């Protein structure tokens, strides 16, 4: 099938750094942050088949997220581009002025509805979904973060099509687990995969990803792990050491990264290299999963 959203082919960019040179480790980055202006990174692949399914017989997309959700941002942009009505169920109270993520979503036509954290925990329950259907009518539902079987299918396709370079280890940040599950499936035990949890107390992701793999493919894979040491205080937290790392990384390498996902992954990679985890001659490929709306200028964010 043809892609519904425009997709820009992305490069693999090598990083040169004294830390890597001293350790004898090669690091390259798959720049998926460049695949679309707004539906960028892994969100493009997670939404691809969900949007195709919605296009079959739905006119409205409903999804969930927090106030700074990359998924809300990307879904609003995708729905607007393809002519869907979109509804965002947002965790927590409405706060004015809206932050750039939610302001962008509204400008892309997404109707934002705020619910308490207690209600939000029920978002996947059949009774709560029925309440949403009674209120909003017929819609295509995409889970929080976009993770479902169709999202895994899209990320599996990404791995098969675009992760064909020669490397030993693949790194990517992990939030809900859908992207890493798809990539694990797509690479079929041919590479070692390390996911960096961006969540505090992210140990549960190991079981979550394992269950996603079993449900999707029926297989268990032994070539992956989730590292939970580099959450930097928790989801969307940005302590001084992470801010310093971002500034130094962007200054040295001229690649934009953000504090929620990509910076934590790169911080983890460099720290593990410094600790001597990898023998000399190892090649690492890191997937830049986007999420760069925080880097957009005020002019870009209001278009």
Kindly provide the b/e burial profile for residues 171-208, where b requires at least 16 CB atoms within 10 angstroms of the residue's own CB: bbbbbbbbbbbbbbbbbeeebbbbbbbbbeebeebbeb
Residue ranges of the domains in the chain? 12-38+148-298, 42-146
Concatenating the DSSP letter of every residue in 248-297 gives HHHHHH-----TTTHHHHHHHHHHHHHTT-S-TT-EEEEE----GGGGS-
pLDDT score for 46: 97
pLDDT score for 4: 81
Q: What is the pLDDT along the chain (303 residues), one digit of tens a residue?
A: 346 899 999 999 999 999 999 999 999 999 999 999 999 999 999 999 999 999 999 999 999 999 989 999 999 999 999 999 999 999 999 999 999 899 999 999 999 999 999 999 999 999 999 999 999 999 999 999 999 999 999 999 999 999 999 999 999 999 999 999 999 999 999 999 999 999 999 999 999 999 999 999 998 899 999 999 999 999 889 999 999 999 999 999 999 999 999 999 999 999 999 999 999 999 999 999 998 876 655 455 555
Q: pTM of the entire structure? A: 0.93
Determine the Cα–Cα distance for residues 82 and 71; give it in Å rounded to an integer. Answer: 16
Q: Which fold has domain 12-38+148-298?
A: Rossmann fold (3.40.50)
pLDDT score for 293: 77
Q: Do domains 12-38+148-298 and 42-146 have the same CATH topology?
A: yes
pLDDT score for 303: 52
> Among candidates 38, 32, 262, which has minimal Cα distance to 162?
32
pLDDT score for 291: 87
Range 42-146 classified under CATH 2.60.120.480: no
- Sheet containing strand 224-227, strands side by side: 12-15, 26-30, 283-287, 169-174, 192-197, 224-227
Directed axis angle between helix 204-217 and helix 178-187, to 10°?
A: 50
């Amino acid at each position: 099938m043809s892609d519904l959203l425009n997709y820009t082919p992305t490069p693999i960019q090598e990083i040169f750094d004294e830390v890597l040179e001293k350790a004898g480790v090669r690091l390259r980055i798959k720049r998926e942050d460049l695949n679309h202006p707004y539906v960028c990174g892994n969100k493009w692949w997670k939404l691809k088949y969900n949007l195709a399914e919605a296009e079959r017989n739905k006119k409205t997309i409903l999804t969930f997220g927090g106030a700074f959700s990359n998924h809300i941002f990307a879904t609003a942009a995708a729905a607007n581009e393809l002519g869907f009505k979109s509804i965002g169920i947002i965790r927590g109270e409405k706060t004015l002025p809206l932050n750039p993520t939610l302001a962008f979503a509204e400008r892309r036509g997404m109707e934002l509805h705020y619910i308490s954290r207690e209600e939000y925990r029920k978002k996947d329950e059949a009774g709560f979904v029925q309440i949403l259907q009674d209120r909003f009518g017929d819609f295509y539902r995409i889970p929080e973060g976009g993770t479902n079987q169709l999202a895994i299918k899209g990320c599996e396709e990404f791995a098969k099509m675009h992760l064909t370079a020669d490397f030993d280890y693949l790194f990517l940040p992990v939030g809900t687990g859908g992207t890493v599950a798809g990539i694990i499936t797509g690479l079929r035990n041919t590479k070692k995969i390390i996911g960096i949890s961006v969540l505090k107390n992210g140990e549960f992701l190991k079981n979550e990803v394992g269950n996603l793999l079993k449900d999707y493919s029926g297989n268990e894979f032994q070539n992956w792990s989730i590292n939970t040491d580099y959450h930097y205080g928790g989801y969307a937290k940005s302590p001084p050491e992470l801010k310093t790392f971002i500034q130094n990384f962007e200054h040295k390498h001229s690649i934009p990264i953000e504090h929620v996902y990509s910076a934590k992954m790169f911080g983890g990679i460099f720290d593990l290299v410094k600790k001597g985890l990898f023998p000399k001659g190892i090649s690492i490929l890191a997937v830049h999963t986007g999420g760069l709306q925080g880097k957009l200028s005020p002019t870009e964010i209001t278009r």
